[in-house]
Structure 1
């Protein structure tokens, strides 16, 4: 049968139409897919771009906090006008409370105290920024872009310091940053006599980037607490302090230099001209200051120093890394004169168990006869002897130990574990009766006078031993440590010298190497020892031909007095290995070509942060010490 021509033609037409429809559908779908892909790619690009822009907002916040950190290091207080009254006003402004709301908690001077809360910042505090701004000199803002005193007000406000800008795009495609960085005042704490902390935190850092099509938001949270410390630092802060930079007349009156072969890891200061000598010269890893010269132009005696190090301009240009390996932070600077303490009245009062009393200029006032009688229960003048309690309560410690008259003082530790502190005081020196104090494992003390009974003492020993007379100072005489791990001691005297007769070492050495035999290295050690004479010198008087190891910070403040050696004749190559620091009016010659000691001094790094022996003298100046660890925390995507 033949196929119809009409039917065949219709089938062809239908087939062509179906094919064309299919092709059209393919074209439409392909076009739609292409458009969709382009839109998806554009959206993805916009989202990525928004993410980057939001992250740049966080980076701006980081930069702002970095600037704050730099400015905090420039904080200062006017030495002429700073008083407890003005500080109380500062604390009230920081907390946003009234003056009457600031507690003045009295803490025992010289002890490691539990922080006392002076005030807690109000949730609506608006004056915190102005309080911080008052500590930053206007010159500090030079070269810090976008900063002025009012910036602190923004940072401490609830709205924070606003981060804004349009870093990319235009029109509807513009991606604008909105966000903030803020600091939040928390409280003010008192952590020791004349030591205060202004505590704050970094509030959540927020940053968003958005346009008509997309938005990305980031939050960075930090749980850290950061502090500004306002304090009168103890003199133990210094690795070396020389009021005068000439030797005493009895020792030739020659100029004293910091010379080649010496290195200093802590602060060095002279109230007179700074003198450096030799080639390549001394090495200063810590800051160096002098009160000779003027701001920006400290007076320095360069004796034999190489040409790239023998002028202020060369040093400040960074051409002397061999003497100042840590750069500008250690270059010599001019600072106003730092007066040495004039008396040890605070140490006398501490030995009596009494709080410090100062006059209108902040200088310690001596105990009166009535104060002494009240503390010891004896009439004045006090007879020669060792006093630690009232005569009416002979087994109750009043605070410290007061010794009237010359004495031998010996520090040692028990043989049991853990080692406990032993203090033996002999009067008259050499042949007299010995009063022996021994600490128990629970922190209490016992006392034995001569061959008498061993009596338990109640009350707390505050670590202060005050001698009204000359002191011959001894360690135990073996390789066993002399200052127990839990001991914090200061030996202070008036009316004579302190002579160090042999080595005195810590149970726990605060440095990582070269510790004395018998010591265990521990950078967080709390055992500490200080010697302070307000009228005499602190002198090495050890055995012949024997090195001495002394772990302590040493202060001799009277005119013409200092740290030195009793003997300077003969030929000897012994050394004094000191871990601590030396603060003195005038050197008594430690090192010489004769029978002195070659110096091997290592700074105790704990002293840099203000740790010190109990009741160690404080400087008559206020400083601002920032904790610069600003951490913006953990970054997370906002939901």
Structure 2
């Protein structure tokens, strides 16, 4: 299979109602050796072949025999002979599309279909041809990790302590763990709660993401794990659900939990992001959409802000349409300013606890992704860079400070539901998609808000604003492969974070979460994906509480640029459409056709 140079735009995918503006069609080359068909041998389990009659199966379930089976299926006419009926048909791969970086669709059609029935000296031949609706396909895709407001691999602290869902916790959206949840008190969930029941030992030992974890379904009540549930996976899930409902005050809000869900592994490296920041794909070819990102280099961190002109931040909020306003006659830009160094008091909670020494360079991006730079110390004008900006920032040494335009917002700590979006000046412009990626720590020291406030999950379908919830395009992602994402002591009370946060090998947490007074809720609209379940405060209370709401735009295909996906490939097929192999046109054939 070779990828062609041209693009094939799919206006709407009937299976997902989604567009693929950078889809590529692939050149097909008929395989002549068994090994050319190893893809099909790899993705279909041995159990799948058992649905076939014995004579139609591979001669054995070895890789060699399965490769031969697929080669013959796609390159030879299949003929069956019975006493009074004979048939023959062919199946071939009609086309292959690369819809996205990690998403391929393979199409099949049948041809030369014939059937001859014989009674005595009489016979009749029926021939059939495929139609536009007789093309079948299946997808090979790496699934998104942005389907939940909370995703944990192991639902414990890094130190191994069981962390409970307690009274006051509010998750407005689906939550998932590959391990076991712990319930206590009366937490509230406004989405499906799911767990895969993978043993901690198996999650810590898996090195091949094409395999599966060891499932042993169960749940913690407090710090006691109960795995004494019998029957099928569905029956065990129902038993766990009843056990939780009968022994806690958990509010599932009518959603039916799934405590026997699938395992979904986290990324194992940041190689794709490291390449994408330099404008390369996974094969070291130029990205199909073009553009490059920015490397932070020796700088300590970065300031992000939506603004206009030569670097004036937006200051006026429209509470009716929930967005920040660009002054009339001005053009909105995304500004990025590296932080060369900082001096911070890391022991006391204080929004003024850091002083920043900014780089002399200020970057400005317009809605067409043109990026310019100016030397603010020398007072030079804007210089247009040769490559468009692809939305990715990479920091080899971590982001020791990530801040928005306002670093000293001060408000009293509020209760859950306290929305400070109108006070948090925007870090990300209304047209911008940004991802900050590193193998090291990422430290949040202020609000990180979007210029067009994303809608909370519970009002996504009903909120009447302009632009509508689903049409807001600004998005932010923070990704640390090997270390932590931390909220530091300079962040304000009721901190606002509109982002997807991923700590693939560690956790998202509040720095020194068990010291200091009540700081109100973390107002997060987006999602948190983490290896372990990080703490944000205590029940005293000290520090923050959680008020997390899912950004439902993620379910509709929006994602921060080059945000990681799961390394485990999944299969989808055409069952959700009207495409069928038996959508064929028949005609009277001739005996000579056989």
The interval holding the TM-score normalised by the smaller chain is: 0.5 to 0.7
Of 338, 343, 363, which aligns to 2:265? 338
Aligned to 1:245: 155
Deviation, structure 1 residue 589: 0.9
Aligned to 2:13: none
> Which whole-Å CA distance do the structure 2 matches of 1:475 and 1:205 have between them?
64
**Per-residue CA shift, 1:131-158, capped at 9, x if unaligned?**
646522133567x697975799999789
Q: Which has the higher contact order (CA 8 A, sep 6+)?
A: 2
Of 505, 513, 523, which aligns to 1:577? 523
Aligned to 1:198: 105
Runs of 5+ consecutive residues of structure 2 not aligned to the other structure: 8-19, 59-68, 203-212, 246-251, 285-290, 309-325, 343-354, 407-420, 588-594
Q: How does the TM-score come out when normalised to structure 2?
A: 0.61
Q: Structure 2 vs 1, CA of residues 428 and 472 (structure 1 numbering), >3 Å: closer, same or farther? A: same
Of 359, 364, 370, which aligns to 1:444? 370
Give the conservation status (yes or no) of the 8 Å contact 2:279–2:293.
yes
Aligned to 1:118: 26
SS of the residue corresponding to residue 369 of structure 2 reads coil
Give the conservation status (yes or no) of the 8 Å contact 1:509–1:520.
no
Aligned to 1:548: 495
Aligned to 2:381: 453
Give the conservation status (yes or no) of the 8 Å contact 1:556–1:584.
yes
> Which whole-Å CA distance do the structure 2 matches of 1:206 and 1:315 have between them?
41
Of 432, 454, 463, which aligns to 2:357? 432
Q: Structure 2 vs 1, CA of residues 400 and 356 (structure 1 numbering), >3 Å: closer, same or farther? A: farther
Deviation, structure 1 residue 510: 7.2
Aligned to 1:186: 94
> Which whole-Å CA distance do the structure 1 matches of 2:446 and 2:31 have between them?
59
Q: Structure 2 vs 1, CA of residues 217 and 185 (structure 1 numbering), >3 Å: closer, same or farther? A: closer
> Which whole-Å CA distance do the structure 1 matches of 2:432 and 2:278 have between them?
19
Give the conservation status (yes or no) of the 8 Å contact 2:370–2:388.
yes
Give the conservation status (yes or no) of the 8 Å contact 1:204–1:222.
no
Structural RMSD (CA):
5.5
**Per-residue CA shift, 1:405-454, capped at 9, x if unaligned?**
31342232442687442223333343423532222344312222324322
Give the conservation status (yes or no) of the 8 Å contact 1:446–1:456.
yes
> Which whole-Å CA distance do the structure 1 matches of 2:79 and 2:166 have between them?
50
> Which whole-Å CA distance do the structure 1 matches of 2:39 and 2:398 have between them?
47
Is residue 483 of structure 1 aligned with residue 391 of structure 2? no
Give the conservation status (yes or no) of the 8 Å contact 2:391–2:434.
yes
Give the conservation status (yes or no) of the 8 Å contact 1:401–1:466.
yes
Q: Structure 2 vs 1, CA of residues 488 and 338 (structure 1 numbering), >3 Å: closer, same or farther? A: same
> Which whole-Å CA distance do the structure 2 matches of 1:506 and 1:201 have between them?
45
Residues 375-524 of structure 1: pairs in structure 2 closer than 5 A: 399-414=293-308, 415=326, 419-429=332-342, 430-434=355-359, 435-450=361-376, 451-467=379-395, 468-477=397-406, 479=422, 481-505=426-450, 507=452, 509=454, 514=459, 520-523=467-470
**Per-residue CA shift, 1:163-198, capped at 9, x if unaligned?**
x9x9xxxxxxxxx9x9999976332233444x2413
Give the conservation status (yes or no) of the 8 Å contact 1:259–1:282.
no
Give the conservation status (yes or no) of the 8 Å contact 2:148–2:173.
no
**Per-residue CA shift, 1:238-269, capped at 9, x if unaligned?**
653434433355xxx63123567655755723
Deviation, structure 1 residue 463: 1.6
Residues 173-322 of structure 1: pairs in structure 2 closer than 5 A: 185-193=93-101, 195-200=102-107, 221-223=131-133, 227-233=137-143, 235-236=145-146, 239-248=149-158, 254-258=161-165, 265-266=173-174, 268-270=176-178, 272-277=179-184, 285=192, 288-292=195-199, 297-303=215-221, 311=229, 313=231, 316-317=234-235, 318=238, 320=241
Aligned to 1:564: 510
Q: Structure 2 vs 1, CA of residues 333 and 469 (structure 1 numbering), >3 Å: closer, same or farther? A: closer
SS of the residue corresponding to residue 616 of structure 1 reads coil
**Per-residue CA shift, 1:375-395, capped at 9, x if unaligned?**
xxxxxxxxxxxxxxxxxxxxx
Runs of 5+ consecutive residues of structure 1 not aligned to the other structure: 1-91, 93-101, 167-175, 359-396
> Which whole-Å CA distance do the structure 2 matches of 1:611 and 1:247 have between them?
30
Q: Structure 2 vs 1, CA of residues 557 and 636 (structure 1 numbering), >3 Å: closer, same or farther? A: closer
Give the conservation status (yes or no) of the 8 Å contact 2:495–2:522.
yes
Deviation, structure 1 residue 558: 4.6
Higher share of residues assigned strand:
2
Greater C-alpha radius of gyration: 1
Deviation, structure 1 residue 490: 1.2
> Which whole-Å CA distance do the structure 2 matches of 1:606 and 1:126 have between them?
43
> Which whole-Å CA distance do the structure 2 matches of 1:544 and 1:458 have between them?
36
Give the conservation status (yes or no) of the 8 Å contact 1:404–1:469.
no
Q: Structure 2 vs 1, CA of residues 183 and 259 (structure 1 numbering), >3 Å: closer, same or farther? A: farther
Q: How does the TM-score come out when normalised to structure 1?
A: 0.57
